A and B are shown apart, each in its own frame.
Chain A
């Protein structure tokens, strides 16, 4: 078969395919694509005659913009039975949405570009630009001359297939794809924006494809309902992995929106220590101090030196969400005092934590209302506030970012655009 360079699918659609005698087998209506080594490759053509026909790639003899012909004669062409498992370019890729992570926007596939190499046709890129639309409408040439009139050229806007990450297995649906390497560089809040901008089902499938760490961060940024929907539609193992990766308070928020049995099922798969932390948080009402707090905080006994505390801090601080306060608790986990990171850093290495800690503590009870918590945090300019029960036991801390989420109305968290 003769080699070809680059071709757009829209230039091939509805072209007649001839057999060796020159009789028309049918007209091109679609292309079957299978997984290739690097890029997907075209494995067969679907032709329209009276019924649908399927012409395998190796049954072709000439394939280019002007002539498409086959090696086999008309009676030998197989009929095609439509199957959901096939990936078809026109049916499954044309006109679908792509999330272009470069700028986090949604674009549509206007055309698909094939590349001929080694007697094969590879799916090289998707066209998301204006020229793709005009080509599909069959008015590209005319529009080009109009553009030239204004001293402009029609720019092509192609996204290489290599940058696209099919979402669903077996390549049956490509409603959404995204360059993975770019994705990891996006801020979790931006990823959450992308997920909010696509349909619920696509969002879940998109999520399944993220690595656990990114998924955990992005999940925390989503609206509560969306969080529950996504976690609910995932398989339990994966959901548990993501929950385990999240800070306990955020994990508890997500689980509290799920049906009780489902939440328990997921918790069973979470590491024991993490699961206990989450369980404990789940027992508190959502709009109270207990519901807001995280039990992920840094605490040390009063009788260690600053040097010892700093060393322990170096390893423990990697995991903790908030590191600006060190809480000093006794053996019974009763809160004794607090030292800010600054105080620890400037203190003499040999002094004891008990010497430098602040004992005049601002604390809240677990049952306190969230607005009261906000007032204390605001009044004393705190970054975090410990939650202590009537017996002096420390249960967790409430960090200022969780308070900000309460105080800011939802509209400014996610800009709604339709009016």
Chain B
């Protein structure tokens, strides 16, 4: 298992699963085709990021600080910190919701979940954490199982997956953009490059790295595919609309029986908790590395105070927010999606400027053809996410 595969897996966190469930329930298989271009865009971007990690041996936040100065790094890290706080809230909310539909109170399960991931990371050994993560990645295949259990008609499914169809429906457009927005996120880019630099992957292993990235991106979207297929096959024909992943699980119960419902609920719980471990931890690393503060899971509070406090406060505050009755959870998640959308152009443009820096990348900087593809991809993504951000702030009235 390489960094590309792990990163891509964690990309399917609570908000991703929600988007796919909603898309499947609302439009059946009609949005399946968006996965193909999304995968291509994801591969192009992840390949660039991975190549930078391999060649420079440094993380993205290191490179931004060294090449664009402390101001750029500081504001980007501030943005990342706030956006990732929102992501953590979303993931813990996913955890709470999945526990509630399994019959556990969120007032017990949120503190239990938060405390166990806090203890796991601050006190647990790397090997234990890694084993748990790898096992958790396997659980994602539950969605594939549920997709087959839904017994869809494969003909229409495959047709929808390859033949694009456009509908001038604001919800349809919003959802198709949201699929890209939830797949290509700012924090992932930092996470991927750092784990590659951290693993010390050499230039000569680069080809294997590229394969790892491509496989990882494909697996992510295969999982997404099966989530849409499950909801598309079971919920869409009955006209059941859902707004959350947990609602999708609940709605499956009378239609597909106990197992599909259990699989959906457990997979959501798993993905949410995985996201809640990685996102705050990753944030703490990048912020500290960019700012030149001591960082590390093996350090104590007095050795690496900023690192430990960022990690602890993110989890503690996010759990508190979830447990406040009537807290504006939806607003917070929307805000975090907006902030992610605002950060993404900067991250992508910085990345492309860096990868074209000959001093940094030497012969590994982008070729002209690859540059055209990358800039086109990045500009499209920036265009689509800005559209999403603008319409989230000022909803369309169609």
CB distance from B119 to the nearest CB of A (A): 14
Whether the pair A419, B58 counts as a contact (CB closer than 8 A) is no
Q: Are B200 and A225 in contact (CB under 8 A)?
A: yes
Tell me whether A411 and B292 are in contact (CB under 8 A): no
Contact in complex: B194, A106 (CB < 8 Å) = no
Contact with A along B321-333 (1 / 0, CB 8 A): 0000000000000
Stretch in B38-46, B62-70, B215-223 with 4+ CB within 8 Å of A: B62-70
CB distance from A263 to the nearest CB of B (A): 18
Contact of B121 among A107, A108, A411, A419 (CB under 8 A): A419
A419, B281: Cβ atoms closer than 8 Å:
yes
How far does the Cβ of B238 sit from chain A's closest Cβ, in whole Å? 41
Contacts of B194 in A (CB 8 A): 418
Q: How far is the CB of B302 from chain A (nearest CB, A)?
A: 12
With a CB–CB cut-off of 8 A, which chain A residues contact B195? Answer: 418
Tell me whether B129 and A107 are in contact (CB under 8 A): no
Distance in angstroms from A82 CB to nearest chain B CB is: 12
A-B contact count (CB 8 A): 71
Closest chain-B Cβ to A170's Cβ sits at a distance in Å of: 16
How far does the Cβ of B66 sit from chain A's closest Cβ, in whole Å?
A: 5
Interface size on B, residues (CB 8 A): 35
| CB 8 Å contact bits of B284-320 with A (1 = contact, 0 = none) | 0100000111101110000000000000000000000
Chain B, interface SS category: helix
Given contacts A411-B126, A417-B126, A417-B296, contact A95 B202 (CB under 8 A): no
Q: Are B285 and A199 in contact (CB under 8 A)?
A: no
Task: Determine the chain B residues whose CB is within 8 A of the CB of A136 once the complex forms.
Answer: 69-71
Q: Is B57 an interface residue (CB 8 A)?
A: yes
When chains A and B are docked, how far (Å) is the Cα of A288 from the Cα of B103?
A: 58
Instruction: Pick the residue among B133, B199, B277, B298 that contacts A415 (CB under 8 A).
Output: B298
Residues 125-151 (chain A) with a chain B CB within 8 angstroms: 128, 133, 136-137
A351 is an interface residue with CB less than 8 A from chain B: no
> How many whole Å from A402's CB to the nearest CB in chain B?
23
Identity of the chain A residue whose Cβ is nearest the Cβ of B121 in the assembled complex: A419
CB atoms of A96 and B66 under 8 A apart:
yes
Instruction: Tell me the chain A residues, 283-312 only, with Cβ under 8 Å from chain B.
Output: none
The reply to whether the CB of A110 lies closer than 8 angstroms to some CB of chain B is: yes
The yes or no answer to B386 lying at the interface (CB within 8 A) is no
Interface band, chain A: 20 to 34
Is A238 at the interface (CB under 8 A from chain B)?
Answer: no
Q: How far is the CB of B361 from chain A (nearest CB, A)?
A: 13
Cross-interface CB contact of A419 among B62, B70, B278, cutoff 8 Å:
B278
Residues on the B chain within 8 Å of A110, using CB:
70, 292
Interface check A201, CB cutoff 8 A: yes
When distances are taken between beta carbons in the complex, the residues of chain A under 8 Å from B296 are 417
Instruction: List the B side residues contacting A200 at CB < 8 Å.
Output: 57, 200, 202
A163 to B360, CA, bound (A): 28
- Does any Cβ of B come within 8 Å of A105's Cβ? yes
Determine if A128 and B200 form an interchain contact, defined as CB atoms under 8 angstroms apart.
Answer: no
Q: Is B292 a contact partner of A137 (Cβ separation < 8 A)? A: no
Q: Using Cβ atoms and an 8 Å threshold, which residues of chain A touch B70?
A: 94-95, 110, 133, 136-137
Measured between beta carbons, the chain B residues less than 8 angstroms from A109 are 292
Measured CB to CB, the nearest residue on chain A to B128 is A419
Q: Cβ of B65 and Cβ of A95 under 8 Å apart? A: yes
Q: Cα distance A225–B201 when bound, in Å?
A: 10
Do B198 and A417 have beta carbons less than 8 Å apart?
yes
Question: Is B56 in contact with chain A by the CB < 8 A criterion?
Answer: yes
Judged by a CB distance under 8 angstroms, whether A226 is at the interface is yes
In the complex the two chains form, what is the Cα distance from A110 to B291 in whole Å? 8
20 contacts between A and B (CB under 8 A): A105-B294, A107-B292, A107-B293, A108-B65, A110-B70, A133-B291, A136-B69, A137-B71, A199-B56, A199-B58, A200-B200, A200-B202, A201-B57, A225-B200, A226-B200, A411-B127, A417-B297, A419-B130, A419-B277, A419-B281
> B residues touching A (Cβ–Cβ < 8 Å)?
56-58, 62, 65-66, 69-71, 73-74, 121, 126-127, 129-130, 133, 194-195, 197-200, 202, 277-278, 281, 285, 291-294, 296-298
> Given A200-B200, A419-B121, list of 7 further CB < 8 A pairs?
A95-B70, A137-B70, A137-B71, A229-B202, A417-B198, A417-B298, A418-B195
